[in-house]
Amino acid sequence: MADNSAELDVEVVAADHFVWSGPANMVRARTSDGEIGILPGHTPVLAILAAGELAIEPVSGQRITISVDGGFFSVDRNRVVIVADNATVGSPATAGIR
């Protein structure tokens, strides 16, 4: 059962640059097996990231969308690490923190 009082610690990097990091309530991604949503308390996962849109609901601020060309992501103990082959943030207003 998910622990909704916790936050996700999310970090997104591309093969050649930092993209975004920070606390989030939810991450949604497309994998080679289909779409997946990650909430606090999610079981550990290691998956292949498919090309498409990655969505992050940060704890504060607007929803962040990132276009990715593939890669992988892992989830363990509310830490989500996404390593994309190529990644582009959807709009300038969604610049991340480090």
pLDDT tens column, 2-25 = 444 589 999 999 989 999 999 999
- Quick check: 67 and 90 in contact, CB under 8 A? yes
- Quick check: 70 and 82 in contact, CB under 8 A? no
pTM, two decimals, is 0.84
pLDDT above 50 for 94: no
Strand partners, 8: 24
Greatest alpha-carbon span in the chain? 36
Residues above pLDDT 70, as percent of the chain: 87
pLDDT of residue 90: 85
pLDDT above 70 for 79: yes
3-class SS of residue 40: coil
Q: What is the pLDDT of residues 24-37, one digit of tens each?
A: 999 999 999 999 99
Nearest to 11 by CA among 93, 85, 81, 84: 81
